[in-house]
Amino acid sequence: MELTSIKGIGEKNKLILNKMNIYNIEDLLEYFPYRYIEYKLDNIKEVSDKTNVIIKGKIDSTPITRYIRSKLNITNFRLYSNQKMVNIVIYNRAFMSKQLTPGREITVIGKYDEKKNTISATNILLSNVIEGSIESKYHLKEGITNKQITSYINNALNLKVNVTDYVPEYLNDKYKLITKNDAIEKIHRPKSINEIKKAKLKLIYEELFKFMFKINYLKYLKTKENKKSKKEVDITKVQEFIKNLPFSLTTDQQKAVEEIHKDLTSETRMNRLLCGDVGSGKTIVGVIASFECFLSGYQTALMAPTEILASQHYENIKNLLSKTKMKVALLLGSTKKQEKEKIYEDLKQGKIDLLIGTHAILNEKVTFKNLGLVITDEQHRFGVNQRNSLRTKGILPDILYMSATPIPRTYALTIYGDMDVSLIKTKPSGRKEIKTIIKSEKEIKEVLYMMLEEIKNNHQIYVVTPLIEESEEISEVRTVTELKEKLDEAFNHKIKIGLLHGKLDKTEKEKVMTDFKNGNTKVLVSTTVIEVGVDVPNATMMVIFNAERFGLATLHQLRGRIGRNSLDSTCILIGPKNNKRLKVLEESTDGFYITEKDFEMRREGDLFGVKQSGDMEFKIADIKRDFKILLEAKKDSEEFLAKNITNNFKNQDKYIKIIDELKSLD
């Protein structure tokens, strides 16, 4: 159903919803809250210092508003609540002051300081709050408020459309799960915490069941349609190539090379994930695979998620292969037309042995003479739906995925159950460790001083800040821009600072990156868009603001941007000093250890905890937190598949739909 047929949604807001990946009513109904506020009224006489009090009371004095700066005003008034007078202070609500008339009953939410008998309010509600009611909070995009999205969802729910339940009936019974329709209703409009729990359990299980169903189906396909011709590789030439490298391979690299060699020379198509921490040396393993492919007379395609990364690979790999006869080419969207035509022609004739580019290289009108291997870098960017895409090309190349998400083997075997996995656990020796320190916000002066020192030594710095999605007013652009302004001020505008965020278009982004790479800018302020693969060896410091808001894995990935040469590097995490998760990072730079800890800590968090965003492709499940459920879903979906595959899911079209989705993706 069209979004605009839902009451309240016009053309303009439809476009904003689209940006939130909401295209139809089902998407809207499955746009789940990420957190809830329970309105349990506090008695001001009984609370002492508390961060989140909710009290009802009557305004007792005419509010006074002071304007401090253009973006800052403060309003003060007295509130009479439960026979006690309390002071209220709230920022940036000058626009409300007309409505805050003495005698009016309001609800105030905020932090109570008993000594000062003052509530520093985060919110004032004019309408009557129902005791015990629960408000759902949604992640928002600029231009849409929580109130609006809540109202759209309400209107959609009132249409009572039937949503597909992918959990087979007997499994719903087995786990006593509520119906999907019920779960959708309750996740958005819960009447109690218990209802949220039940709804979440159902939706998480369903999501994981569907996910594991796909994985298991791909695994089944693999055993069925995976014959290819063996590649004949002259192993002495490979050994010679390895011997001539400027370094010797680590044990894990050698093992991965051997596993890949076995795959290439076998009759079964390779579908392998090469998993290793940032800097563990995955590229050379991929390069050796492409060399073997070349020796056996086939071409290789290497795909990177961004043009910057593809270019970096190209420069680096051309070097590594300079002593061989392999011909390497780079194909980007921005490559000049004439040059493109030439590359197409050369590929067709087999004059190019290794083509490097973004994912576009398999979609464009590119025809290979005989493509034998596809390598995709930073696999964690591609979801399960994309994993199958190469099968439909009519060609059956071997496939190697390279991923920097260091994931423990047991987990890898589950979520990548349709692939074989090679792990590189140890880094090449002689690497400088990155020193990580936690600094509280109060110590910011010291941090600025450390930054200055680093710049004096002619090094460069990344500054990263999270998106504060909770706030309806603060947008990504504003968050980073404000931080840049503050730094400009702190450094007296004497240091060139670049600014990178997701709202820049591709050319703008590349310009910012190139400026930083060339050292034109000394500091790069950004959101997490720099996360993947960027290589600026002269950057030796990273400062992460509000570090406690990032997931462990993200912080670890970010930190991998520094420590890329023989210089000492420092990562400064700004956040609470006693934060357990930040301490893990201070303690170790081993990605596998950190991920293990991450799994442990999230398991301790209950089902009710806030899901960390950016984790694979899930809307509500968190595979680390919900790993037990994932294992159940794995077993269940295997059984279900085995039972139904023989009769081709008779009378169960919804599963055919999932399979078709998997098959048709390009």
* Cα(199)–Cα(186) distance, integer angstroms: 6
How many residues bind ligand ADP (CB under 6 A)? The answer is 14
Q: Which is nearer to ligand ADP, 219 or 431 (CB)?
A: 431
Q: Is 247 in the site for ligand ADP (CB under 6 A)?
A: yes
Q: Is 553 in the site for ligand ADP (CB under 6 A)?
A: no
Q: Is 249 in the site for ligand ADP (CB under 6 A)?
A: yes
| Strands 398-403 vs 84-91: parallel, antiparallel or unpaired | unpaired
Residue 479, both tokens: 């968050």
Quick one: 584 exposed, middle or buried, by C-beta within 10 A (0-12, 13-18, 19+)?
A: buried
- The label of the residue with tokens 């990177």 reads 304
3-class SS of residue 195:
helix
Rounded least distance, CB 313 to ligand ADP, Å = 9
Rounded least distance, CB 279 to ligand ADP, Å = 5
Rounded least distance, CB 434 to ligand ADP, Å = 14
Q: Is 311 in the site for ligand ADP (CB under 6 A)?
A: no
Which positions from 525 through 544 interact with ligand ADP, judged by CB under 6 A? Answer: none
Q: Is 284 in the site for ligand ADP (CB under 6 A)?
A: yes
Rounded least distance, CB 376 to ligand ADP, Å = 13
Q: Is 422 in the site for ligand ADP (CB under 6 A)?
A: no
Contact 545, 463 (CB under 8 A): yes
* Cα(574)–Cα(17) distance, integer angstroms: 33
Rounded least distance, CB 526 to ligand ADP, Å = 19
* Cα(617)–Cα(430) distance, integer angstroms: 36
Q: How far is CA 647 from the centre of its chain?
A: 38
Q: Is 567 in the site for ligand ADP (CB under 6 A)?
A: no
Alpha carbon separation from 265 to 95, 375, 659 (Å, rounded): 72, 16, 30
Rounded least distance, CB 238 to ligand ADP, Å = 16
- Report the largest interatomic distance among the alpha carbons of the chain, rounded to a whole angstrom: 90
Rounded least distance, CB 280 to ligand ADP, Å = 4
Q: Which is nearer to ligand ADP, 129 or 249 (CB)?
A: 249
Q: Which is nearer to ligand ADP, 257 or 352 (CB)?
A: 257
- The label of the residue with tokens 């990504």 reads 476
* Cα(151)–Cα(466) distance, integer angstroms: 28
Q: Which is nearer to ligand ADP, 250 or 527 (CB)?
A: 250
* Cα(283)–Cα(167) distance, integer angstroms: 41
Q: Which is nearer to ligand ADP, 25 or 309 (CB)?
A: 309
Q: Which residue is nearest to ligand ADP (CB)?
A: 281
- Phi and psi of 260, rounded to 5°? -65, -40
Q: Site for ligand ADP (CB under 6 A): which residue of 216, 250, 569, 595?
A: 250
Contact 501, 526 (CB under 8 A): yes
Stretch of 177-185, 197-205, 274-282, 388-396 contacting ligand ADP, by CB under 6 A:
274-282
Q: Site for ligand ADP (CB under 6 A): which residue of 281, 357, 372, 498?
A: 281
Q: Is 380 in the site for ligand ADP (CB under 6 A)?
A: no
Q: Which is nearer to ligand ADP, 304 or 572 (CB)?
A: 304
Q: Which is nearer to ligand ADP, 436 or 557 (CB)?
A: 557
Rounded least distance, CB 249 to ligand ADP, Å = 5
3-class SS of residue 307:
helix
Q: Is 276 in the site for ligand ADP (CB under 6 A)?
A: yes
- Compute the half-sphere exposure of residue 174: CA atoms within 13 Å on the CB side of its CA: 9
Could you tell me which residues come within 8 angstroms of residue 569 by beta carbon, excluding any fewer than 6 positions away? 432, 434, 435, 540, 541, 542, 562, 563
Q: Is 278 in the site for ligand ADP (CB under 6 A)?
A: yes
Q: Is 290 in the site for ligand ADP (CB under 6 A)?
A: no
Could you tell me which residues come within 8 angstroms of residue 502 by beta carbon, excluding any fewer than 6 positions away? 476, 527, 529
Q: Site for ligand ADP (CB under 6 A): which residue of 75, 148, 283, 527?
A: 283
Rounded least distance, CB 277 to ligand ADP, Å = 7
Stretch of 59-67, 151-159, 196-204, 282-290 contacting ligand ADP, by CB under 6 A:
282-290
Q: Is 279 in the site for ligand ADP (CB under 6 A)?
A: yes
3-class SS of residue 492:
coil
Q: Site for ligand ADP (CB under 6 A): which residue of 289, 404, 412, 553?
A: 404
Q: Is 582 in the site for ligand ADP (CB under 6 A)?
A: no
Q: Site for ligand ADP (CB under 6 A): which residue of 202, 282, 387, 556?
A: 282
Q: Which is nearer to ligand ADP, 359 or 625 (CB)?
A: 359
Could you tell me which residues come within 8 angstroms of residue 541 by beta carbon, excluding any fewer than 6 positions away? 450, 451, 454, 459, 460, 461, 462, 562, 569, 570, 571, 572
Rounded least distance, CB 252 to ligand ADP, Å = 9
Q: Which is nearer to ligand ADP, 82 or 565 (CB)?
A: 565
Q: Is 406 in the site for ligand ADP (CB under 6 A)?
A: no
Q: Would residue 36 be called left, alpha or beta, if left means φ above 0 and alpha means ψ between -120 and 50 degrees? A: beta
Which positions from 145 through 174 interact with ligand ADP, judged by CB under 6 A? Answer: none
Could you tell me which residues come within 8 angstroms of residue 34 by beta carbon, excluding any fewer than 6 positions away? 137, 138, 139, 469, 610, 611, 613
Q: Which is nearer to ligand ADP, 53 or 434 (CB)?
A: 434
- The label of the residue with tokens 């790999």 reads 317
* Cα(77)–Cα(230) distance, integer angstroms: 80
Rounded least distance, CB 248 to ligand ADP, Å = 6
Strand partners, 329: 355
Residue 205, both tokens: 């299980």
* Cα(309)–Cα(534) distance, integer angstroms: 7
Stretch of 262-270, 271-279, 479-487, 520-528 contacting ligand ADP, by CB under 6 A:
271-279
What is the binding site for ligand ADP (CB under 6 A)? 247, 249-250, 253, 276, 278-284, 404, 428
